[in-house]
Structure 1
Amino acid sequence: MERMMHEFLTANRAELIARCRAKVAQRAPPGAPVAELDHGVSIFLDQLIKTLAMERTGAPLQSYKVSGPAGGGRPALSEMSESATRHGKELLEHGFTVEEVVHDYGDLCQSISDLASETGADIETEEFRTLNRCLDNAIASAVTEFGYQRDSVIAGRQAVALNERLGFFAHELRNQLCTATLALSVIRQGNVGLNGATGGVLDRALVGLGNLIDRSLAEVRMDAGLEVQHQLFSLAEFIAEIRLSATLEAQVKECPLTVSDVDPLLAVDGDRDLLLAATGNLLQNAFKFTHPHSEVTLNAYAQADRILIDVQDHCGGLAPNVMEEMFSPFKQGAEDRSGLGLGLSISRRSVEANNGVLSVRDVPGSGCVFTIDLPRHFLPGAQPAAETA
């Protein structure tokens, strides 16, 4: 017996909802509600029935107020678009993906087709066109709202993370600046000299400010995705420049700094500023965690087709399972919690941007060695030196 589609849907409403719910349950993420959502399939089904019934009246275009015209339109122009918009938000809140938003409506279409086939219901082509129009409008509204809400959530999380990082940065900057200002004030009173303990405090604060700014500038470059500025430069001159800046920090920390001789023929092809920041971060980290008055070593040498830059300290060794975690932002692996915990993360990103690898190995009971591994090059016209064993 021929039956109009809205009558078929009304008679089988509970069965169709049950079938859709079963399909959703198979795809639902852990913890998602099994029951029908407030603005889900049941609401859409009722609006579809209402649309089909109105199209059988003398004013079929009035159905557009319920389900919208073909080709979409402003969501506020139809009841279906408004409820689908709320459903898109609802699905995001329950942990569904955008693909599952589309499947959620597709389930109903499939269930209607399957049940019609099983029961021998004869549904007119024009009514299926109305069904497709309703699905099209509902999916468009739900997906649009899902994307908007998802982007809002992501933007909110990014804003929180950025505020946290800026807060850490401002806190450290204020501490170092405050220390330097107080030390300078005491020195100006004339009771102490620059070479005394107060002068040492001033030195430490200024070195800390410089390190903090250098790390932040490197991070800005990496986050902004600025193009790496490749140039061929002497490894020996590069290490000599690092040695100059590291010597002051070694004096402030009262730790001896040992720097190896470097083959003058070796060269690096990369972004000099990023690599200076990366190596400087490793040295700052070494001076921060090495035991008082213990040696920090900087070695640069060639091995096969690679150039290796080692920074070794005497921190006593690394705790188990921390070697990879320590490269994550805001991770600090020792009792000294000063600083942002960003240095190693920025160093790794800077090295990788230069086609290199930054790794760490533990020296049990002694300390650890951070190694920058870069492609090996030679200065123009130079003859390759003998390989390092």
Structure 2
Amino acid sequence: MMHNFLANNRSELIDRCRMKVAQRPERGATAGQLQDGVPTFLDQLIRTLRIEQSLDPMESRKISGPSDGTSSLSEMGVSAALHGQMLLELGFSVDQVVHDYGDPCQAITDLAYERDAPFLVDEFRTLNRCLDNAIADAVTEFSYQRDVAVESGKIVEMNERHGSFSHELRNFLGTATLAFAAGKAGDLSFSGATGNVLERSLDALTNLVDQSLGEVRKTAENDQGFSLFSLAELVADVKQSADLAANVSGCVFTVSHVDSRIGIRGNRDLLYSSVMNLLQNAFKFTQAHTEVTLDAYADADRILLDVKDHCGGLPGGDAEGLFLPFVQNGRNKSGLGLGLSIARRSMESIGGELSVRDEAGKGCVFTISLPRYAMTLE
């Protein structure tokens, strides 16, 4: 019987496993780990095998767990989970978790061969089941605890970024407030030194907010948030916001009719943000009193959104250079030069494309291309 063989050779098996662990330099096992890990597993395996030879063999599942891979609380599962957590805390990889359970299996096999010990097929099946369940529980707990640790690290990092942003924001805002209060109290002209302080503070606030928005948009690209939504409704929302920007820029903004049956599957917020980036770019560079247009339509199995301006065309025709981050080609150097770069990456993240066509002497046409879907509206 395997349980008798394991019980009679328990010390020998434990010594062999300890030697295997000690021979792996990357393992670096402590005396406590060598004392508790393998002996616990062997004792549970011995008890499992004994119960399976009794009148109620299914009771062994309380120790070793079921054989069908279903979730079940067992003594071996609890011990294995603690083992997986311990290895994570020590900084080991998931491979090490598996290796630690391969050691007793190899030790049992080697010693049985040396002693010519006969085992039943069912006993080998029980050994394999115990190993499978222990490895699965240890790896599951290892992975879970690792993910929790990673997520906790992200939260700490996010809090640090928010704290830094708030600190800088407060400093710049405080300086601007003081300059304004000083000018108001002294009835000073804002063309002097106090006005310069106020202007620099407001410029710094603007740059800080722009940088923060750039980080938020880049982070949002990793969060797909896919859904099916109406192209017509999206364009209507875009028009409502873009009309205000067009008025400030002194240009005419025209939106073509959109078929209400056309649907898009993707991240609505990313698409809205990308279209607004293209329009803001168009309003910024189109010549005074000219027209910016937004056309949204279906072409075969694709949805196209065209933003056309009258900027006069690209110097040298360098279209692809527009999408490089921090590149500003026009005379207007306001902003960070990130809008087009973020828009392209956003579209690529949801399976779309963003391209530009230079109309020499006239302007540019930016085109977003996405898969087409039917929209059922009630």
Summarize deviations over 1:295-350 as a string: whole Å, max 9, x none: xxxxx79xxxxxxxxx9xxxxxxxxxxxxxxxxxxxxxxxxxxxxxxx9xx99x97
- Residue by residue over 1:22-66, the C-alpha shift from the partner in whole angstroms, topping out at 9 and shown as x without a partner, is 333444537553653565222111100111112222222221221
* Distance in 1 separating the partners of 2:193 and 2:322: 38
**1:162 & 1:40 partners in 2: Cα distance?**
38
Partner Cα distance (2:84, 2:139) in 1: 6
Secondary structure, aligned partner of 1:40? helix
1:178 equivalenced with 2:174 (yes/no):
yes
Q: Is the 8 A contact 2:18 2:34 kept in 1?
A: no
Which residue does 2:194 correspond to in 1? 198
Query: Which residue identity does 1:138 align to in structure 2?
Result: A
Normalising to structure 2: TM-score of the pair? 0.62
- What is the aligned counterpart of 1:58 among 38, 55, 58? 55
- The letter of the residue matching 1:64 is R
Residue aligning to 1:284: none
CA contact 1:183–1:198 (8 Å) conserved in 2: yes
The reply on whether 1:110 has 2:161 as its aligned counterpart is no
Q: Which of 5, 9, 14 lines up with 1:8 in the alignment? A: 5
Per the alignment, residue 101 of structure 1 pairs with: 97
1:127 offset after TM fit, Å?
Answer: 0.5
Deviation at 1:269, TM superposition (A): 2.5
Q: What does residue range 369-380 of structure 1 map to in structure 2 within 5 Å?
A: 379-380=358-359
Per-residue CA deviations over 1:65-102 (Å, capped at 9, x if unaligned) read 211221244442x2111111111111111122112212
State the AA in 1 paired with 2:26.
P
| Separation (CA, whole Å) in 2 of partners of 1:22 and 1:194 | 80
Q: CA deviation at 1:229?
A: 5.7
* Structure 1 match to 2:310: none
Match 2:319 to one of 253, 262, 268: 268
2:66 and 2:72 in contact (8 A); partners too = no
- C-alpha change, 1:352 and 1:136, in structure 2 (3 Å) is same
For 2:159 and 2:128, the matched residues in 1 are separated by: 46
Distance 1:101 1:31 in 2: 13
Q: 1:197 to 1:83 in 2, by over 3 A?
A: same
When residues 264 and 177 of structure 1 are mapped into structure 2, their CA distance, relative to the original with a 3 A threshold, is same
Q: Is residue 2:22 matched to residue 1:19?
A: no
Q: Is the 8 A contact 1:71 1:137 kept in 2?
A: no
Pairing partner for 1:33 from 30, 33, 46? 30
Quick one: which amino acid aligns to residue 22 of structure 1? M
TM-score between both structures, scaled by the size of structure 1: 0.60
Q: Which residue of 1 aligns with 2:68?
A: 71
What is the CA-CA distance between 1:13 and the residue it aligns to?
Answer: 1.7
The residue identity in structure 2 corresponding to 1:267 is D
2:266 is matched with none
Alpha-carbon contact 1:229-1:271 (below 8 Å) kept? no
> Following the alignment from structure 1 to structure 2, what is the Cα–Cα distance between the partners of residues 157 and 40?
29
Name the aligned partner's letter for residue 143 of structure 1: V
CA–CA distance in structure 2, aligned partners of residues 50 and 143 of structure 1: 23
Match of 2:320, SS state, is strand
2:149 is equivalent to residue 153 of structure 1: yes
C-alpha deviations, 1:118-171, integer Å up to 9, x for none?
A: 221111111011111111221121111111111111111111111111100010
Match of 1:87 among 83, 98, 101: 83
Question: Who is 2:46 aligned against?
Answer: 49
| Cα distance change on mapping 1:27 and 1:270 into 2, 3 Å | farther
TM-superposition CA deviations, 1:247-305 (whole Å, max 9, x none): xxxxxxxxxxxxxxx98333333666x73xx258xxxxxxxxxxxxxxxxxxx79xxxx
Report the aligned-residue RMSD. 4.0
Distance of aligned partners of 1:118 and 1:351 in 2 relative to their CA distance in 1, 3 Å threshold? farther
Asked if the contact 2:52/2:58 (under 8 Å) is kept, the reply is: yes
Distance 1:82 1:16 in 2: 22
Question: In the TM superposition, what is the alpha-carbon distance from 1:221 to its structure 2 partner?
Answer: 1.7
**% identical aligned pairs:** 49
**Match for residue 289 of structure 1?**
none
Q: Does structure 2 retain, via aligned residues, the 8 Å contact 1:98–1:146?
A: yes
Aligned residues: 274
**1: CA distance between counterparts of 2:99 and 2:171?**
54
